[in-house]
Chain A
Amino acid sequence: MSGETSSYAEMARTISPVRTLRKYLNIFRVSLIERMTYRGDFLIGTILRFFPVITTVLLWKAVFAGNEHRSIAGFNEQRMIAYLLLIHISRMFSSMPGLSGAIARDIRDGNLKKYLLQPLDMIGYLLSYRAAHKVAYITTSAGPYAALFLFCSGYFVGLWPDAATLAAYLASLILAFLIGFFFETCMGMAGFWILEVSSLLWVVNTVNYFVSGQMFPLDLLGHPWDVLLKWLPFQYMAYFPAVVFLREIEGPKLVEGLLMELAWAVVLIAFSRMLFARGLRRYSAYGG
């Protein structure tokens, strides 16, 4: 009996950071395998995903064909189309389909227990899970996207950034992933207070599509809308990384932008933690 107790004590002592890391790495691995199971469906989806790219490029070409100055809000045709292609890269990192819905569903159905009963942090689990899906998504769509960018390489002539810009771009994308993830997590946490969040999500996603600059660069909106929207976190999920790549933002402005992005990420992380902690106090684990 005493021997057993001491082995438990020993186990508790060996829960080191390495073990914690290994735990989350395993979640990552399993999620990656899961994701690769449905390749057929995935492939068709990837091919269809090019249709909007093609139509948007053609639409903007038609707009520029009729524009006498050949420049719209400081974007010429080449930069505009490059921007719209780069938006896809931003969204590859920042979009989190189904995340908020899944969190809200777990809260509503009482399934949240499964996280609470295990020595596992729910947000940490979901972050590993999403990171794996993102890696799977990015690696499987790397081929098609490489083909697309090669095909459209004409739009990138002379736009390829130097190493420093590229590093800033990568940083902005990773932060975009974090902002996307924690923004969606916060939305999901709303499920603690309202039973049905799906309708809220539709509204937010619809607005987000516009205010994050997925339709066109925010600069097109003109004063004061562009300034206002650049203060909000949404732009980091699409607009900001793209203009970093295009060197629309450089020097001190770039540093300032990245710091703002970091600040928003920290705010959203803290906010999601706070909502989670407050929510748990209200949570009553319905269901069996």
Chain B
Amino acid sequence: MTRYLRLFAAFARFGLAGEMAFRVNFLVKLLVEILWLGILLVFYWKLFEFTPNIAGWNRSEYFFFVGCHYALAGVVETFFLTNCTEFAELVRTGDLDGYLLKPIDEQFLVSCRWIDWSTLPNIVQGVGIMAVALTLIPWTFDPVNFALFLLLFACGCALAYSFLLILSSTAVWLVRNQNLMEMWWLFTTLMRYPRAIYRGRWASPFGFFFTFLVPVLIVVNVPAETMVKSLDLGFIVWTIVASLAMLVLSRRFFRRALQSYRSASS
């Protein structure tokens, strides 16, 4: 375990050194992230000029949700997204061979090799939005509630990571997966909004499917609801169970993909 932690620290240092070699690029990436956040906030702010609440979330609660999503997406982007999208490239070029020969767990190596430092501030910004939203909500600190939130946030990250790993593993079969980053972005639009918007004749079954069969809707919803709305024990248990199950499932899927891997080039 310490070996993995040491390696992870080494990867982190290496990543930071890499980013610092292109400082202007790094700064622009930061700027884009801030710009994007600004656009999102303007967008939601505008929406609330026309309605007092969206699917039962008032402005402050909704901004907490936005912050929660932003922080969670930030965690995934910082630690896993670049790695998983690069997996497709490793498969295509055959460079994965070198990774498989290393005396270390392949999943760890493939998914933790690079830390994208430029998206790290997203986590801070997300936390900042959540903090501001909480001061506007009239919210009182409750240690149990807070601990539950942290646990569910971790579960959300685990769920998102599992989906990402499964999605990138498909690269072994569909060799050209070059728009994986875009596919991930498209897929994660499902976790971007409150679960309660999936209402109506066709939207309810859609929401049900992505809550219980492919549990992506609960990723941000359950932690955010637990913190600023009511505790729903059933959903809390489901989120914990689903995240554990998905971690196991995604690992199996990844290993299955590696078995099908046929090295490219010579």
Contacts and interface: CB of A to CB of B under 8 A. Distances in A.
Contact of A58 (B46, B174, B203): B203
Given A196-B25, A199-B24, A51 B186 contact: yes
A38 B176 contact: yes
Contact of A202 (B32, B47, B194): B32
A45 B51 contact: no
A200 B28 CA distance: 8
Contact of B197 (A59, A72, A202, A209): A59
Interface residues on B, range: 35 or more
Contacts of A40: 174
Given A41-B176, A196-B25, A61 B200 contact: yes
B266 to A, nearest CB: 23
Given A41-B174, A63-B50, A202-B32, A209 B186 contact: no
Interface string B171-185: 000101111001100
B50 A44 contact: no
Contacts of B193: 55, 58-59
A218 to B, nearest CB: 12
B179 A41 contact: yes
Contacts of B178: 41
B129 to A, nearest CB: 18
Given A38-B176, A40-B174, A209-B39, A216 B187 contact: no
Contact of B28 (A38, A64, A203, A221): A203
A55 B189 contact: yes
Interface in B117-171: none
B190 interface: yes
Interface in B3-25: 22, 24-25
Interface residues of A, number: 35
Interface in B57-114: none
A232 interface: no
Contacts of B179: 41, 45
B190 A55 contact: yes
Nearest to A221: B46
A62 B39 contact: no
A120 interface: no
The secondary structure that dominates the B interface is helix
Contacts of B199: 58, 61-62
Interface string A14-57: 00000000000000000000000010110011001101101100
Contacts of A72: 50
Given A41-B176, A202-B32, A216-B43, A55 B192 contact: yes
A42 to B, nearest CB: 9
Contacts of A216: 43, 46
B51 A66 contact: yes
A215 B174 CA distance: 32
B196 A62 contact: yes
A231 interface: no
B205 interface: no
B197 A58 contact: yes
Contacts of B174: 40-41, 44
Interface in A59-89: 59, 61-67, 72
Nearest to B196: A62
B39 A41 contact: no
Contacts of A59: 54, 193, 197
A199 B30 CA distance: 10
A234 to B, nearest CB: 13
B197 A61 contact: yes
A285 interface: no
B206 interface: yes
Contact of A49 (B39, B176, B186): B186
Interface in A182-219: 196, 198-200, 202-203, 206-207, 209-210, 215-216
A237 B115 CA distance: 35
Contact of A48 (B31, B187, B200): B187
B99 to A, nearest CB: 23
A19 B31 CA distance: 48
A55 B196 CA distance: 11
Given A51-B190, A55-B193, A210-B39, 4 more contacts: A45-B186, A55-B189, A62-B199, A199-B29
9 contacts: A45-B179, A61-B199, A62-B194, A64-B51, A66-B54, A196-B25, A199-B29, A207-B35, A220-B46
